[in-house]
Structure 1
């Protein structure tokens, strides 16, 4: 069975939404990422086994989004592609799916990736407007058309903006996380401290040149624009709660991810294919696990990775401490801290199938090149960003094992083991 080699990753700089990438589409950003990979690895005119790409904030007209990106990438047009969507873990899931196909011997090489933008929103009209337009199109007589036209109201023209709200609870992800941090007793100070380290680690990584071969200039932007090298614990402490309007909340714009635009892609291959092309291998995608929680009936919305990690560890006969790096997606610093505290809790770990707590992790190994709070979180791009970043960190240190954990909307999570 072939191993899944991670060859390399390219991404645009992540930016705050409604700033640098106005009128730039998901397709524009992700096509640019594919073009960079094609150029860097000499793939112009070549047919790949498959390409799996995804975006959350996508237009209904982009139903063949991945294929369109491929057709603009410089790859052989005979390269197939398909869309993947699993909320914030979309592009990691794309990589896992291609990895399974590589292991099965179906393909030798493929690209996984994702993109998201809030600056090119797919704004819709109301259902009432849509229904009336459909009826108008099907009208058979002038009288029928006039009757339908007379039924239109000004309110039918009110635009519907996409919202990050759980349909079954009516609460935003931030509001759900406020419930989680209250349940787990996570302090504002602890959240701000994690946010501070996220920014400092990301800035240090840029200063050291870590991102030089991962991030390429795009639309005049040369580095992630959300990183705040001048932030301090005092500055973070002065920010107001962002999701609890009573003023009693602890989640702020400083310890939560901002709406972000960006795209990322990762090149995967069999070990033998990589060797035939003389491609250095950064690391290997070893295993993955998905999970979900019953958040509608009280479980924390973003706690699914706790279950996924527990199952992944058992299957691989590993402990939580058997990792050299931990890449835990910072949707909110509070959510990361809830996850870490849950793994230390005996009663909670019984739910995960363990007789004892999974235990603590070494925090000096957590998000050491910056996390999503500092770098940004374009929903569909985050998984590929983390996978590529993790593989490079393992290559730099000359070996080791890393745990990737991504929580998602809908009470789901996806986790993976990367090793070199």
Structure 2
């Protein structure tokens, strides 16, 4: 194996729940705030970075190459390249992997990499019918043609298309991400009660982590009105199975089990890590907090996309001779409660392991006391571009906090993919 890539430090913003309108921060604001707080405590200047790589699944039209925008706003100067990557839900993890590859090939030695999204600012779009009408209206040069265009106008064409809904719909299988979670619930017989119980546990674990000071990677935000945002604000401390049971299924309203309460939240947030080569660590006298040992990507049926962590982490385990519970800690991004539970079921299912993974026997049951011990995206939220970086950052923080050695961060990816990273402390 190639030498691991050192993690020097990391930081993220609070994850702020979308509340029926644009949030207080644009995506570049979030990434700049987290990056500034992270870089100001380093022994090197921002313009000493070799490059900045930022994952973003939904950049706004005025921040298209948001990696370059943020690099300039961070004071990296004109000569530090900044670029953007997109692998849907794993965009932040892809940024880390891209940084690793450039470090391993010697093209870079010190890289700022992470992810961001401000999903509350996802656009409202005109329908195709409305766009065609507008095109005809602007093309009409005479009074008669404009009158004809007005006569053909249909008020229903003004109904906006939600950009977030289009983005969360798989264009190949035509299903919303939540519908793919319903597929997994049906495949593995996961009950509504099991999903709701998992969701409640996520909220309780995040609340306990907040109370215990276990989310130290968060740096506070202050908006233009002076309002302070210091914590993930989607956590429901009063969540209970009884309350969640009152919610109606959202994606399959007649037969479904997946609700807004047992799904991840639409959220705004950013997360960064500083990665370095061994040579950069020695030359600059840096003190690493961890190491990314290895990374794996996998693909599967888009309609079963939530099982991506199983397909990515399994070959990673095999390559290093590890079993599920040989890891001290796991972070699996909680896109949906059904999706995480399905991953646990798949590893413990002989037929699935044989037919889908080519294994002779099931890997067994992952000890859930090792999994997402400080909660996950159901309570924290899932700003799509940032989540892959967040789970790697929190994994290394958790390993150091509890004096543990190694863990895996894994994520499912819309479109039918999965990503996994093996991390260890130094």
What TM-score comes out, normalization by structure 1 length? 0.90
Cα–Cα, structure 1 residues 149 and 208, in superposed 2: closer, same or farther, change >3 Å?
A: farther
Q: Contact 2:411–2:419 (CA<8 Å) still a contact in 1?
A: yes
> What is the distance in 2 between the residues matched to 1:368 and 1:416?
18
Structure 1 residues 90-140: Cα deviation after superposition (integer angstroms, max 9, x where no partner): 101110110121122221111112111232223333445556777999x7x
Q: Which residue of 2 aligns with 1:64?
A: 65
Q: Which residue of 1 aligns with 2:274?
A: 267
State which of 176, 182, 188 in structure 1 corresponds to 2:186. 182
Q: Contact 2:46–2:74 (CA<8 Å) still a contact in 1?
A: no
> Aligned-pair distance for 1:84?
0.6
Q: Contact 2:92–2:388 (CA<8 Å) still a contact in 1?
A: yes
Structure 1 residues 166-217: Cα deviation after superposition (integer angstroms, max 9, x where no partner): 2233321112211210110112222222222211221121112122343323
Q: Contact 1:11–1:33 (CA<8 Å) still a contact in 2?
A: yes
SS of residue matched to 1:391: helix
State which of 325, 333, 349 in structure 2 corresponds to 1:329. 333
> What is the distance in 2 between the residues matched to 1:91 and 1:207?
27
Q: Contact 1:38–1:74 (CA<8 Å) still a contact in 2?
A: no
Cα–Cα, structure 1 residues 73 and 149, in superposed 2: closer, same or farther, change >3 Å?
A: farther
Correspondence 1:205 to 2:209: yes
Q: Contact 2:35–2:272 (CA<8 Å) still a contact in 1?
A: yes
Correspondence 1:225 to 2:229: no
Q: Which residue of 2 aligns with 1:243?
A: 251
> What is the distance in 1 between the residues matched to 2:246 and 2:137?
54
> What is the distance in 1 between the residues matched to 2:40 and 2:147?
53
Q: Identify the range of structure 1 (301-310 vs 359-368) with the bigger mean alpha-carbon deviation.
A: 301-310
Correspondence 1:407 to 2:412: yes
Q: Identify the range of structure 1 (114-123 vs 93-102) with the bigger mean alpha-carbon deviation.
A: 114-123
SS of residue matched to 1:314: helix
> What is the distance in 1 between the residues matched to 2:211 and 2:359?
42
Unaligned runs of 5+ in 1: none
Q: Contact 2:218–2:230 (CA<8 Å) still a contact in 1?
A: no
Q: Contact 2:23–2:268 (CA<8 Å) still a contact in 1?
A: no
What TM-score comes out, normalization by structure 2 length? 0.89
> What is the distance in 1 between the residues matched to 2:95 and 2:142?
48
Q: Which residue of 1 aligns with 2:288?
A: 281
> What is the distance in 1 between the residues matched to 2:295 and 2:93?
10
Q: Which residue of 2 aligns with 1:382?
A: 387
Q: Identify the range of structure 1 (66-75 vs 226-235) with the bigger mean alpha-carbon deviation.
A: 226-235
Q: Contact 2:89–2:388 (CA<8 Å) still a contact in 1?
A: yes
State which of 305, 311, 318 in structure 1 corresponds to 2:322. 318
Unaligned runs of 5+ in 2: none
> What is the distance in 1 between the residues matched to 2:205 and 2:352?
31
> Aligned-pair distance for 1:312?
1.6
Q: Which residue of 2 aligns with 1:396?
A: 401
Q: Which residue of 2 aligns with 1:74?
A: 75
SS of residue matched to 1:414: strand
Q: Identify the range of structure 1 (260-269 vs 332-341) with the bigger mean alpha-carbon deviation.
A: 260-269
Aligned length: 413
Q: Which residue of 2 aligns with 1:166?
A: 170
Q: Identify the range of structure 1 (151-160 vs 323-332) with the bigger mean alpha-carbon deviation.
A: 151-160
> What is the distance in 2 between the residues matched to 1:367 and 1:408?
18
Correspondence 1:252 to 2:259: yes
SS of residue matched to 2:36: helix
> What is the distance in 1 between the residues matched to 2:31 and 2:343?
31
Cα–Cα, structure 1 residues 118 and 150, in superposed 2: closer, same or farther, change >3 Å?
A: farther
SS of residue matched to 2:253: coil
Please provide the CA RMSD for this pair. 2.5
SS of residue matched to 1:417: strand
> Aligned-pair distance for 1:226?
0.9
> What is the distance in 1 between the residues matched to 2:46 and 2:143?
51
State which of 239, 242, 258 in structure 2 corresponds to 1:234. 242
> Aligned-pair distance for 1:71?
0.7
Q: How does 1:276-315 map to 2 (within 5 A)?
A: 276-295=283-302, 300-315=304-319
SS of residue matched to 1:286: strand
